[in-house]
Amino acid sequence: MPQPVRSLRVLMMILGGMQAVLGLGLLTNSVAVATAIWGEGDASTPCCTTPGEAHSGVIVFAGVLMFAVAAWGVSTALKFPTRQPGLRVSAFAYGWTALPFTLAFYEVIPILGLIWLVAAILAVVRPNQPECRAWFGYQPL
């Protein structure tokens, strides 16, 4: 496996691991995160539920979605030694999918958001390098 392909594989595993950690944080703290976003209830809120509790399902959905995207990236990276041409396209699409998560990481820790942005851009650029194209058997039309 050439060095650019190996570094793309490691990069995708790191991105997937970080997404899984953020997804786990969203799942385990869904009410707290929803309360931070939608706020506490006041005298006008209906009995027994605050806006944070009412919207916690949205946060759980976001956590599950984040886990799914993380699993996609890690499973694609683990299949690299098979050299299937579709894996290069999957890695490229995963890089584009990882870019919007920059905002979530930037809200948690700003420096982490900037690091994530650089890593996501590298995940978009690396699959198009000549060594990666040759490894996956890309044939231009």
Domain boundaries defined on the chain: 3-38+50-135
**Number of neighbouring beta carbons within 10 Å of residue 26:** 23
Q: What is the pLDDT of residues 6-59, one digit of tens each?
A: 999 999 999 999 889 888 988 888 777 777 766 676 656 566 666 667 777 888
Give the residue-averaged pLDDT of 49-75.
84
Q: What is the pLDDT of residues 88-135, one digit of tens each?
A: 899 999 999 988 888 877 877 889 889 889 999 999 999 888 888 888
DSSP string, 18-32: HHHHHHHHHHHTHHH
The Cα-based distances of 30 to 22, 59, 66, 124 in angstroms read: 12, 5, 13, 30
